[in-house]
Structure 1
Amino acid sequence: MRSFRTEIENPVVEKDIIELEKKIRLFKEGKVDEERFRSLRLARGVYGQRQQGVQMVRIKLPYGKVTGDQLLRIADVSDEYSTGRLHITTRQDIQIHYVSLDRTPELWAELEKSDVTLREACGNTVRNVTASEIAGIDTDEPFDVSPYAHAVFQFFLRNPVCQEMGRKFKMAFSSSDKDSALSFIHDLGFIPKLKDGERGFKVLLGGGLGSQPNHAELVHDFLPSEKLIPFIESVLRVFDRHGERAKRLKARMKFLVQGIGLEAFLQLVEEQQLALSYQTYSIHTDDFEKDYGVLNKITVPEVSIDDEAGYKAWLQTNVLPQKQDGFYAIGIKVKLGDFYTDKARKLAELVKKYASNELRLSLRQNILIRDVKEELLPFFYSQLAELGFTSLGYNSTVDITACPGTDTCNLGIASSTGIADVLGDVLVNEYPEYLNNKDITIKISGCMNACGQHNMAQIGFQGMSIRQGKLVAPALQVLLGGGVLGDGSGRFSDKVIKIPSKRGPQALRVLLDDFKANAKDESFLNYYNKQGKKYFYDFLKPLSETDNLVADDFVDWGHSKAYVQEVGIGECAGVVVDLIATLLFEVEEKLENAKNALESNAYADSIYHSYTVIVNAAKALLLAENVKTNTQAGIIKQFEELFGDQITLEVPFSKFVYQINKNEPTESFAKKYVADATLFYKKVDAFRKKQIEHEVGK
Structure 2
Amino acid sequence: MSIQFTDNISTAAKRDILDLAQKIGSFQQGDIADEAFRKFRLTRGVYGQRQPGVQMIRIKLPHGRITADQLIRIADLSDKYATGNLHATTRQDIQLHFVKLADSPQLWADLEDANITLKEACGNTVRNVTGSARAGIDPLEPFDITPYAHTIFDYFLRNPICQDMGRKFKISVSSSEKDSAYGYMHDVGLIARIQDGKRGFKVMLGGGLGAQPFSAQTAFEFLEEDQVIPFIEGVIRVFDRYGERQKRHKARMKYLLNDIGLEELLQRIADETPALRVKSYEVDNNAGNSLFETPPAERLDAPAPSIIEGDDQFDRWLKTNVFEQKQAGWYSVQLRVLLGDMHSDTARALAQIVKQYAADDIRVTVNQGYLLRFVKPEDLPAIYQALNALGLAEPGFDTTADITTCPGTDTCNLAISSSYGITRALEQMMHDEFPDLVFNDDIKIKISGCMNGCGQHSVANIGYHGSSLKNGAYVLPALQVLLGGGFNGKGEGLIADKVIKIPAKRGPDSLRYLLRDFEANTFDGEYYSDYYARQGKNYFYQLLKPLADLKTLVNSDYIDWDHTEQYVTEVGIGECASVLIDLVATTLTEASEKLGWAREALSESRWSDALYHTYNVFITGARAALMSRDVPTNTQHGIVSDFDKTFVGTPDFHQAEGEFKALVFSINKQEPSEEFARRFIAQGEAFLQAVQAYREVQIEQEGLPELQALTQALDS
Query: Normalising by the residue count of structure 1, what TM-score does the alignment of the two structures yield?
Result: 0.96
Partner SS state of residue 658, structure 1: helix
Name stretches of at least 5 consecutive residues in structure 1 with no aligned partner. Answer: none
CA contact (8 A) 2:62 2:130 kept: yes
Q: Which residue is 2:713 aligned to?
A: none
Task: Return the match for 1:345 from 345, 348, 355.
Answer: 348
Q: Which residue is 2:519 aligned to?
A: 516
Residue 477 of structure 1: CA displacement?
1.1
Asked if 1:178 corresponds to 2:182, the answer is no
Task: Return the match for 1:561 from 558, 565, 568.
Answer: 565
Distance 1:192 1:170 in 2: 17
Residue 9 of structure 1: CA displacement?
3.5
Partner SS state of residue 122, structure 2: coil
Q: Deviations over 1:619-671 (max 9, x none)?
A: 11111122111100000000111112231258810011111011211111111
Distance 2:356 2:162 in 1: 39
CA contact (8 A) 2:488 2:528 kept: no
Change (3 A) 1:421 1:626: same
Q: Deviations over 1:175-217 (max 9, x none)?
A: 1001111111100000011011111000000001111111111
Q: Which residue is 2:463 aligned to?
A: 460
Distance 1:600 1:85 in 2: 41
Partner SS state of residue 4, structure 1: coil
Q: Which residue is 2:363 aligned to?
A: 360
Asked if 1:395 corresponds to 2:398, the answer is yes
Residue 336 of structure 1: CA displacement?
0.7
Q: Which residue is 2:668 aligned to?
A: 661
Residue 352 of structure 1: CA displacement?
2.4
Distance 1:78 1:492 in 2: 36
Asked if 1:581 corresponds to 2:585, the answer is yes
Partner AA of 1:178 in structure 2: K
Partner AA of 1:632 in structure 2: Q
Q: Deviations over 1:572-611 (max 9, x none)?
A: 9xxx999221221121111111111111111111110011
Q: Deviations over 1:118-174 (max 9, x none)?
A: 010000000000011111111000001110010000000010000000000001011
Distance 1:627 1:135 in 2: 50
The equivalences for 1:150-229 within 5 A come to 150-229=150-229
Change (3 A) 1:506 1:84: same
Distance 1:520 1:222 in 2: 35
Q: Which moved more, 1:619-628 or 1:46-55?
A: 619-628
The equivalences for 1:606-625 within 5 A come to 606-625=610-629
Q: Which residue is 2:506 aligned to?
A: 503
Asked if 1:420 corresponds to 2:407, the answer is no
Partner SS state of residue 191, structure 1: strand
Partner SS state of residue 703, structure 2: helix
CA contact (8 A) 2:399 2:438 kept: yes
Name stretches of at least 5 consecutive residues in structure 2 with no aligned partner. Answer: 706-716
Q: Which residue is 1:102 aligned to?
A: 102
Asked if 1:75 corresponds to 2:79, the answer is no
Partner AA of 1:517 in structure 2: A
The equivalences for 1:142-541 within 5 A come to 142-287=142-287, 288=289, 291-293=294-296, 305=308, 308-485=311-488, 489-521=492-524, 522-541=526-545
Task: Return the match for 1:543 from 533, 543, 547.
Answer: 547
Asked if 1:642 corresponds to 2:646, the answer is yes
Distance 1:181 1:663 in 2: 36
Residue 221 of structure 1: CA displacement?
1.0
CA contact (8 A) 1:352 1:358 kept: no
Q: Which residue is 1:112 aligned to?
A: 112
CA contact (8 A) 1:230 1:276 kept: yes
Residue 483 of structure 1: CA displacement?
1.4
Asked if 1:678 corresponds to 2:685, the answer is yes
Change (3 A) 1:487 1:507: closer
Q: Which residue is 2:91 aligned to?
A: 91
Change (3 A) 1:5 1:587: farther
Q: Deviations over 1:227-251 (max 9, x none)?
A: 1110000000000010000000100
CA contact (8 A) 1:33 1:579 kept: no
Q: Deviations over 1:56-111 (max 9, x none)?
A: 01000010101111111111111111000010111000011001111111110000
CA contact (8 A) 1:178 1:487 kept: no
Change (3 A) 1:376 1:676: same
CA contact (8 A) 1:191 1:487 kept: no
Partner SS state of residue 547, structure 1: helix
CA contact (8 A) 1:555 1:562 kept: yes
Residue 350 of structure 1: CA displacement?
1.8
Distance 2:503 2:237 in 1: 45
Residue 292 of structure 1: CA displacement?
4.5
State the identity %.
Answer: 51
Distance 1:577 1:124 in 2: 22
Change (3 A) 1:6 1:312: closer
Residue 252 of structure 1: CA displacement?
0.3
CA contact (8 A) 2:299 2:328 kept: no
Q: Which residue is 2:132 aligned to?
A: 132
Distance 2:696 2:333 in 1: 64
Partner AA of 1:685 in structure 2: Q
Distance 2:541 2:490 in 1: 31
Change (3 A) 1:570 1:178: farther
Residue 256 of structure 1: CA displacement?
0.5
Distance 1:493 1:251 in 2: 22
Asked if 1:627 corresponds to 2:635, the answer is no
Partner SS state of residue 32, structure 2: coil
Change (3 A) 1:602 1:485: farther
Distance 1:660 1:638 in 2: 19
Q: Which residue is 1:36 aligned to?
A: 36
Asked if 1:600 corresponds to 2:607, the answer is no
Partner SS state of residue 472, structure 1: strand
Distance 2:560 2:218 in 1: 42
Query: Normalising by the residue count of structure 2, what TM-score does the alignment of the two structures yield?
Result: 0.94
Partner AA of 1:280 in structure 2: S
CA contact (8 A) 1:327 1:372 kept: yes
Residue 520 of structure 1: CA displacement?
2.5
CA contact (8 A) 1:64 1:361 kept: yes
Q: Which moved more, 1:349-358 or 1:441-450?
A: 349-358
Partner SS state of residue 434, structure 1: helix
Residue 268 of structure 1: CA displacement?
0.8
Residue 508 of structure 1: CA displacement?
0.9
Partner SS state of residue 402, structure 2: coil
Q: How many residues align?
A: 693
Partner AA of 1:610 in structure 2: T
CA contact (8 A) 1:179 1:487 kept: no
Change (3 A) 1:643 1:569: farther
CA contact (8 A) 2:298 2:329 kept: no
Partner SS state of residue 184, structure 2: helix
Distance 2:582 2:130 in 1: 31
Change (3 A) 1:588 1:509: same
Change (3 A) 1:98 1:292: closer
Change (3 A) 1:42 1:255: same
